[in-house]
Amino acid sequence: MLTEYTVLKEEQKTRIGFRDNLLYVTLTVVAAVIAAAVQAKQPAIVLALPPVCVVLGWTYLVNDEKISAIGAYVRDELGPRLAQLAQLTQPAQGEGVFGWERVHRANLRRRSRKAVQCVIDLLAFCLVPLAGLGVYWAGGQGSPGLLVLSGFEAVSVVGLASQVIAYARPLR
């Protein structure tokens, strides 16, 4: 069981690093797309923002969910099994096997941090591409095909936003 714990925590650590880098990658790609659109004086280039942000945002969300799932598994499954094997009595809150997995969730600022993170995720992965679509639509020079494409892109971004909000429920 300790080997399982070690492997899970290593996977969690790797996923945290990967997830956190996705935000930086998104910011870099957004800056590059905006710079390309401005330099080329082609507003249609901003239509690259929604698919890129949706793919990166979804990958971010999936990794975040797996990070939380690993923590829940260690806290709710692995810890109690190990405590039972070690014949530990009922430990007090935060004590016992893998106490940190419980204690850090009780932090008073946890909900506010989760709310701020939800807003940041929505800004980076949803608001930016929607703003890009708004700029494109405001230009009024789109072809019918690109306007249809941009509509599908808007739906996909709104879908991602709904998942970001749903996953944050109730800012657990």
Q: What is the pLDDT of residue 170?
A: 61
pLDDT above 60 for 91: no
Q: What is the pLDDT of residue 148?
A: 96
Q: What domain range is 128 assigned to?
A: 2-171
Instruction: Compute how many other C-beta atoms are within 10 angstroms of the C-beta atom of residue 138.
Output: 9
Q: What percent of the chain has pLDDT over 70?
A: 92
Residues 75 and 101: beta-carbon distance below 8 Å? yes
Q: pLDDT tier at 90 (50, 70, 90 boundaries)?
A: low
What pTM, to 2 d.p., does this model score? Answer: 0.86
Q: What whole-number distance in Å separates Cα of residue 132 and Cα of residue 100? A: 42
Which tens digits make up the pLDDT trace of 22-48?
999 999 999 999 999 999 999 999 999
Using a 10 angstrom Cβ sphere, with 0-12 exposed, 13-18 middle and 19 or more buried, the burial of residue 59 is middle
State how many domains the chain has.
Answer: 1
Q: What is the pLDDT of residue 94?
A: 46
Q: What whole-number distance in Å separates Cα of residue 168 and Cα of residue 172? A: 7
Q: Which residue bears the tokens 């608001």?
A: 127
Residues 21 and 96: beta-carbon distance below 8 Å? no
pLDDT above 60 for 93: no
